[in-house]
Structure 1
Amino acid sequence: MVWDGVQSWLRSRPLVVFALLWIAGYAGACSLELPWLDIRTSLVSGALLGAAALFGSGLWKKPLIALLIIATAAAYYGQYDQGNRSQLAGVVTEEAELAGKISVASPVQVDGDRVSFQAVAESLIVNGAETPARGERLQVSIRLLKREEQALAEAWERGDRLELSGTLRAPEGARNFDGFDYRRYLRLQHIHWQLSIKGLSTVTAEKLGWRDVGFWNPLRHADRLRQQLGDRIERLFPKEQSGFMKGLLIGMAEDFEPAQFDMFSKLGLTHIIAVSGLHVAVFLGCVLWVLRRVGLTKEKTLLICIGLMPLYIIATGALPSIIRAGVMSMIGLYAAYRGKLKDGLHVALGAGVLILFWDPYFMLNVSFQLSYLVTLGLIVGVPRVSRLIPVRQAKLRDALSIALVAQFMSFPLTIYYFNQFSFLSLEANLLMVPAFSAFTMPVGMIALFAGMVWLPAGSVIAWVVAKGNALFFWAIGLMGRWDTFQTIWPSPNGLWIVVYYSLAAILVYSLTVWRKTRDEARSPKAGPNLLTAGEEIVQHRLRTLTIGGLLPLSGLGLCIWLAYGYAPEMGRPQGGQVQFIDVGQGDSILIRSPAAGKVMLIDGGGTVTFRKPGEEWKQRRDPYEVGKKLLVPLLKKRGVQRIDYLLLTHQDADHYGGLQAVLEQVPVDRLLFNGTLKPGAEVEKLFSTALSKGTELIAMRSGDGLVLDQRTKLDFLYPQPQDEAIRLLKDQNPSSVVFYMEMDGTRWLFTGDMDQAAERLVLQQGTGGVVRPIDVMKIAHHGSKSSTSPEWLSAWQPKHAVISVGAHNVYGHPNPGVLERLTNGGTAIHRTDRDGEVQMAVKGGRIFIRSKLKEAS
């Protein structure tokens, strides 16, 4: 009976079936990457599909048509992907000198001393030879050298032609396991090369008129409109709110204050500024209200709204989520105009197929995925969930059902991509989404439109909005500070996500049957019973099975599945792990003990910047910070929900810089350090943050020991004990924490940035019960010549050496003499600049090694 109902539902929605099969074909092609999936395969599949539809019969017809739809979609995706190739692939390998002419193909972003935009090649000279590459897309990055260059770059617009020279490089791929792959990110935008330029001395701009711009003219005017709207928002709203309002109203989220973004992100509220269906609904609601008030007919208002939607999509940045919402709204408006609007699911999936046919890469866009999943969930799930909520007030019941369905639908992708979830997210969305959608967005739009006509009128309305925003920000900040409700989740695999949605669907179905059975039992039967006695028995047994079996099993199963997703390693025997994370020119090492799974993080890398007086203009709004952008996302992706020991070997920026973000976002029990304090505001902030979070501070000295579990023991060899409890020390390298570790029968030495004088002191004072030779040595000070003396290597005789060092660093690390000494001693060398992240797993007294870049190659 249930299967008959499902079949009947699917038969009445052929577009739903087609869309699901088409997406399945895309997913298969994306996962398998088969070289023979191309236009020929697509044509053959299409021909067979047509033949099966026209001449097929019997039981095999529908399954065959389904398979052919999947095959056609896979071939179409394969052909599209194979067409995404660079014209310079056979000319340039990794790097080349380039000169030529390009056209600006995106809005130009100027942030401090950095300029970035996309460009299309007109004519290129690569390594001195003219190369046919017209139409090649490039990602351009310019580092400004003078303050006056900012104004020159800000004047560039889409369509302007630049004559320039610089260095052409292949974008960098992920250097850490589970790390962000910038090369893949650009490839999905059909960009295969980065052009890097220093200063504007080699750049000549040709300002073109509207007749010469041609194709770029509409987009150029859209950029100007967005810029004018953004400038007016800045004049209307306070500085601390203008970035938020630009993101909310016109999709310019790049000016959103990073601290505010983090506040929204903690509570799962970033979708508020990601222009999507909610924003389209508010925009259309305002337009429809105005048009109906001026006396236009329903048909005319619908046609005007259809015409305005492309303009709204362009004005808000044409992001995947707004394209999806805009196309859906135009289809829905047209269906309403024709009097055929009856199935929102058809509208949503019809829009999705159109968008994916236009650009199959949208399927891989997180914004598109989240937007579509939530939209489909709301269409299908809200009517069913709403009937299950025991609340009489209809508006409150609808709000609760919308929030619940949105949370359940977005949860798997949220933890997959962002690895965090707040148990206050539902409450925050229930409170804040209505506030922003019913007040801030519509009134903010009115303030913007009024301000474009007459600034004083808009300023009065904006003042009211700003007061409301201040209250909302206060509430969000208050909820965001309750760290107890924040949870960190490892990224689940595809199977976990499929099972999650299946269990959730079964649970909702079972609850629906239970609620229907209960309501029928409470109310007398109306009308004659048309079922036979046999059919009544079957229906009764089916309901009994559903309520007595599926309901408790699906509920319990979902709880167990969530617990497994939160801690997938719980109860499984694990080996020890030592992961040398590539943080550039710095150190960061993650250790997991084999028996108890204790987590120790050694150092956190850090971005070293050199600013002279008068160079404040170079400061960027959201500068790259290794802890926030690289280390914390990696820790979360790997399911590090708590750090038992955070060891700061010494207080140089390339070791402590990333730890500020770690302390702010990941619970830390104990912070181990060298017993000194380096003068400076950033170090003081780091220790103050640790104390405010309840982290215990422990100074480590030679002779101290630490047991992570019964199979992992640490012996600290340096620094030597001092008379003072805590002393100020500017030069930190000679006081780096040095320790020896035994893990499951293997021996390790971690050296921080110790110098040769410290090496001699360690050898002179003796190493107690430490066993030598060792298996792995972390080479001190990134392979600098000031460390790793011949005597030091002779004493320890390491089998493996790991050098944590930045690629193309300006210091010349690692030193050739150090490399020579290691090679002559028979030590295998692993370097993060060459190998990327180096991971070592300990199982049964053996060490298994893999590195990211070697594995990728």
Structure 2
Amino acid sequence: MLELATYFIVLFTLQLMVILQGGSSWWFNLIWASFFVALFLGRDKLYYPPDHPHVKLRRQNIRLWLGLFILLIFFNLYFSIYVATQHQSAITSFFTGQVFKGGSAWEEKRLDHMAHINQRHEHVTLKGTIRSAVDIDGNRVRFDLKVETINGSPLSQAEKVAVTHFVRTLKERERYIEVQRGDEWEGVVELTRAQPARNPGAFDYRRYLQQRGIHYTAYVRDLGNIRSRPGVVDQLLNRADQYRLKWIGQTEALFGEQTASIVQAMTVGYRDELDRQVLEMYQQLGIVHLLAISGLHVGIVLGCLYLLLSRLPLTRETIYLILFLVIPVYIMLSGWQVSVVRAGLMAMAVLICFFFRLRHHSLVGLYVVYILILMVNPYYLYHAGFQLSFATTFALITVVPKLYPLLPGKSERLQQAVAVAVVAQAVSLPVVMYHFYSFSPLALLINLILVPLYSVVYIPGAFGLTLVSFFSLDLIRLPAWAYEESLNLLHRGLEWLYRLPWATVNTGQPGWWWLILAFVLLVILGRCAELRQKGAVGLVLACFSCLLVLQPLLPYLDRQGYVMVLDVGQGDAIVIEAPYRREVVLIDLGGQLAFYQEEWQRPSRTFETGRDVILPYLRYRGINQVDKVIVSHGHYDHFGGIQGLLGHISIGMVLYPPVMPQSDFERLWLTRIQEKGIPLYHVSKQDHWGNNEIQFLVLHPPLPQGGLAKQTHNLHDYNLVLWNKIYDTTFIWTGDVEEPGEYQMLDAFPWLQADVLKVAHHGSHTSTSEPWLAQIKPQVSVVSVGGNNRYGHPDREVIRRLAESGAPLFRTDHHGGILIVIRPGQYSVVPTLQADREQVQ
């Protein structure tokens, strides 16, 4: 029975993946055919002689097989219709129908207009119903709006839009404070398509919204009317939001800022106030599940409540009923997180079995909840939290009971704790590495210590202290102080571990072959544990460990070189990986200047290029050390990203132009670099380094007389320019050099040419002169530039010169990050936002 149910779930999952990916119909035939192959292989279990006492069981098994097969076909139809509906947009149909009704060239105009909608649309008036909680963060207000009319005309079907409003005044912000789910909202907005991932490994906001059935984002230009009209369901959800906010406020009154944010995360899943560095520390050390409400937290809540209720004069059935009613309330208070819904539904199923004294198996309950959640939204299948929650729970149910007796030791509880930690880590690691590109070698040991500690002390303490504080804050001041001080002490220890150079390893995103191999090893581990083959279990765990070690070593076996011109907006950041990963060089660090804001306007989290763009890409590529950081010059759009990198990734050395710091920002961060023990060198014309596969030569600027330049009215005069060669492919990295610098290089290096030219100063008219292009003769040109920037970069004259030179132009504002893959004798350019690959020999 359980084997059949498990096989069905595997086929169900494969079928759903094919549907979500838009696979061909022959995949369905293959999946369904495998169902009958399994039936044939297991025919001995279905055949009994007519006089056999279990002949009725045979009939039941056959009916079960046929029933599951019919379910597969049903789910195929259900999810196919769901996905087809999800991809339709009533807003797109509205615009194409309104603008182009009739006409001989309708289809051509429709496609042109669709391309326009995909980028940006004119201002329109939307009217609809708010379908989410209103998130207010500084001057930014966000919510989902179910749009019913556009410019007064009704849509064929109401459609959700993600609305963002950057309010201009405090009075305008206060209008949203009382706004709730279910209220009617009207305003003038600018409709756009959400941004896709603009760099490899980055968060894909467009895909995230599409999986929620949202095709457009709306930026408010003029706020109209807001009218309260919540229905019964909305009132219930709003009441849950209010209780959640009240709980959050109580934790802030009871604890300090950092402890309160951790208690909020552990009790009601609220992470908005959680310090980003603390959250990153938990993630990198592999213990973030302690802050994400899951079966552990639900079990603790129900267990503590059961102990309290069992001391009252209540029957066991009454206690089960009370616990059953508490679960959906807690799910609502925790924000409907997938892991809570999964744990809550499973607990409700178990309580029903207890109440009616039915036989049950946890695995069947897990499968039922799995299918129910995917029927609500099949795209949950791709969510990291969903995958971690169900994969880990499945492994704990099936493997741990068979594994722990095989472990050495006399204490059964210790054996179980070790088995739980080993199995949970082994199952979660492939998922974590695929989604987050790193893991901690210390995770197993830390979890062995912290999971029992949090289960016994910190999670129950968070619930208990907060609950009692509603009755009397003074009564628990001392216990709350002890709780907070012990948690702070624990965090200081975790911070010490986190700062160790080997505490986390960036592995890069594993390929499918690696994931399949890891999955096969985990299945073999479970089978060996079931057969009680102790030696085989140890061998499989050793093979799995070798597979983990292999992943971060793979780049050192790759003979290709990689150059990534990252999309950092109006700035430069270029990551160069030498063949066989013999060197990693980062040229410039990007950076976006923040404008002055009043205190009420400041969001809880601001964008930082180094932390939010460069560091995720380095993790995606499995880079654990940058050997050289080359700063072309000290302007913020080339050096600002150092704030998010320093202390978060190992840096071998920093190369800087031959000029003293010209701003307070430069002085501050160059000092911090040296305080970290990172060597700082000033380089100038003719400096060079390299090996057989990769070489660098500094072309500009020359070393000033008397050493470093003390002051300069134009920092671009001392901008570093480098010639770079990987195998036979040559590059020139220009930074923001201007025409006088170009002429100096042409005079000093008459042989100078390059296959790939980084267009200087984001395409400004002050650079990229015709004589420069005439000598360099680039085959490809790349410009790093922000979309719709206020400088008008790249300049039209520069674009014309590049077009006349015959070099195709790749722009980060159009193509996103631009990857150049170098092999001996050839290279290819792969834009992130373009499927086509341009192969240049």
TM-score range, shorter chain: 0.7 to 0.9
Q: Is the 8 A contact 1:28 1:74 kept in 2?
A: no
Name the residue aligned to 1:519. Answer: none
Find out whether 1:589 has 2:574 as its counterpart. Answer: yes
CA gap 1:363/1:515 in 2 versus in 1, 3 angstroms: closer
Change (3 A) 1:445 1:670: same
- Given residue 383 of structure 1, which amino acid in structure 2 is its aligned partner? P
Q: Which of 567, 589, 603 is residue 604 of structure 1 equivalent to?
A: 589
Pick from 814, 817, 827: which aligns with 1:837?
817
Q: Which runs of 5+ in 1 are unaligned?
A: 1-10, 517-546
Select between 477-486 and 276-285 the one with higher mean Cα deviation: 477-486
Q: Quick one: which of 172, 178, 184 aligns to 1:155? A: 178
Aligned counterpart, 1:89? 92
CA drift at 1:138: 0.8
Which of 787, 796, 807 aligns to 1:816? It is: 796
Aligned residues between the structures: 794
1:257, CA displacement in angstroms?
1.1
Distance 1:64 1:843 in 2: 54
Q: Which residue is 2:52 aligned to?
A: none
Once residues 287 and 466 of structure 1 are traced to their aligned partners in structure 2, the CA distance between those partners, rounded to angstroms, is 24
User: Is the contact between residue 268 and residue 421 of structure 1 (CA under 8 Å) also seen in structure 2?
Assistant: yes
1:100 aligns with 2:100: no
Q: 1:454 aligns with which of 455, 472, 487?
A: 472
Query: Retained in 1: the 8 A contact 2:555–2:580?
Result: no
Q: Secondary structure at the match of 1:274?
A: coil
Which residue among 135, 138, 143 is the counterpart of 1:109?
135
Letter in 2 for 1:670: M
CA RMSD of aligned residues (A): 3.2
Q: Percent identity?
A: 26
- In structure 1, what residue type is equivalent to 2:453? A
Shift in alpha-carbon separation, 1:514–1:185, aligned structure 2, 3 A: closer
User: Which residue number in structure 2 is paired with residue 715 of structure 1?
Assistant: 697
- Residue 404 of structure 1, CA deviation: 1.4
Q: Given the alignment, which residue of 773, 790, 795 partners 2:770?
A: 790
Q: Give yes or no for the alignment of 1:173 onto 2:180.
A: no
Cα 1:458–1:24 change in 2 (3 A) is farther
Identify the range of structure 1 (263-272 vs 463-472) with the bigger mean alpha-carbon deviation.
Answer: 463-472
For 2:554, the equivalent position in structure 1 comes to 568
Q: Residue 159 and residue 12 in structure 1: after superposition, are their counterparts in 2 closer, same or farther (change >3 A)? A: closer
The 5 A counterparts of 1:230-309 are 230-309=248-327
Task: Check the 8 A contact 1:15/1:350 in 2, yes or no.
Answer: no
Aligned letter for 1:578? Answer: V
Q: Deviations over 1:436-470 (max 9, x none)?
A: 22112212212222222333335454333212221
Q: Tell me, yes or no, if the aligned pair for 1:776 and 1:800 is still in contact at 8 Å.
A: yes
Shift of 1:167: 0.2
Work out the CA distance in 2 between the residues paired with 1:593 and 1:842: 9
Q: Could you tell me which residue of structure 2 aligns to residue 492 of structure 1?
A: 510
Report the Cα distance in structure 1 between the residues aligned to 2:422 and 2:640, rounded to whole angstroms: 39
Check if 1:742 corresponds to 2:725.
Answer: yes
Match of 1:73 in 2: 75
Distance in 2 of aligned mates of 1:779 and 1:583: 15
Residue 335 (structure 1) shift? 1.5
Q: 1:741 aligns to what SS in structure 2? A: strand
Tell me the SS of whatever aligns to 1:695. Answer: coil
Distance 1:824 1:326, change over 3 A: same
Secondary structure (helix, strand or coil) at the match of 1:720 reads coil
Of 740, 747, 758, the match for 1:757: 740
CA change 1:239–1:511 in 2 (3 A) is closer
1:195-210 alignment runs, 5 A limit: 195-198=218-221, 201-208=222-229
Q: Which residue of 1 aligns with 2:145?
A: 119
Please list every run of 5 or more consecutive structure 2 residues that lacks an aligned counterpart in the other structure. Answer: 48-57, 96-116
Cα distance in 1 for residues equivalent to 2:836 and 2:180: 38
Q: Deviations over 1:176-209 (max 9, x none)?
A: 23332111100111111101024xx53332234x
**Counterpart of 2:829 in 1: which secondary structure?**
strand
> Offset at 1:276?
1.0
Q: What SS class does the counterpart of residue 167 from structure 1 fall into?
A: strand
Distance 1:112 1:30 in 2: 37
Q: Which residue of 2 aligns with 1:410?
A: 428
Query: Measured at CA, do residues 856 and 224 of structure 1 come closer, stay the same or move farther in structure 2, by a change above 3 Å?
Result: farther
In structure 2, what is the Cα distance between the partners aligned to 1:424 and 1:687? Answer: 32
For the pair 1:699 / 2:682, whether they are aligned, the reply is yes
CA shift in 2, pair 1:654/1:103, >3 Å:
same
1:136 aligned onto 2:119? no
Q: Structure 2 vs 1, CA of residues 784 and 441 (structure 1 numbering), >3 Å: closer, same or farther?
A: same
What code does the residue aligned with 2:84 have? Q
443 and 367 in structure 1: CA distance in 2 versus 1, 3 angstrom threshold: same
Structure 2 Cα separation of the partners of residues 215 and 277 of structure 1: 26
CA contact (8 A) 1:247 1:274 kept: yes
Give a deviation string over 1:127-169, Cα, whole Å, max 9, x none: xx72415521010111122233332222221122222111011
CA distance in 2, matches of 1:79, 1:734: 62
The amino acid that maps onto 1:830 is F
Residue of structure 2 in register with 1:527 after alignment = none
Matched, 1:483 2:511: no
| Equivalent pair of 1:320/1:365 in contact (CA under 8 Å) | no
Which shifted more, 575-584 or 371-380?
A: 575-584
Distance, in Å, in 2 between the alignment partners of 1:265 and 1:295 is: 44
- Could you tell me which amino acid in structure 2 is paired with residue 137 of structure 1? K
Would the aligned equivalents of 1:840 and 1:850 in 2 still touch at CA under 8 Å? yes
1:776 to 756, 771, 777: 756
**Contact 1:673–1:699 (CA<8 Å) still a contact in 2?**
yes
Partners of 1:377 and 1:500 in 2: CA distance: 14
The reply to whether residue 312 of structure 1 matches residue 330 of structure 2 is: yes
Q: Indicate the larger mover: 351-360 or 781-790.
A: 351-360
Higher deviation after alignment, 584-593 or 389-398: 389-398
**CA deviation digits over 1:715-760, x for unaligned, max 9?**
1011221334584668533322101112222221110011223223
| Residue identity matched to 2:79 | Y
Whether 1:164 aligns to 2:168 is no
User: Could you state the TM-score of these two structures normalised by the residue count of structure 1?
Assistant: 0.86
| Change over 3 Å in CA distance of 1:150–1:551 after alignment to 2 | closer
Q: Secondary structure at the match of 2:190?
A: strand
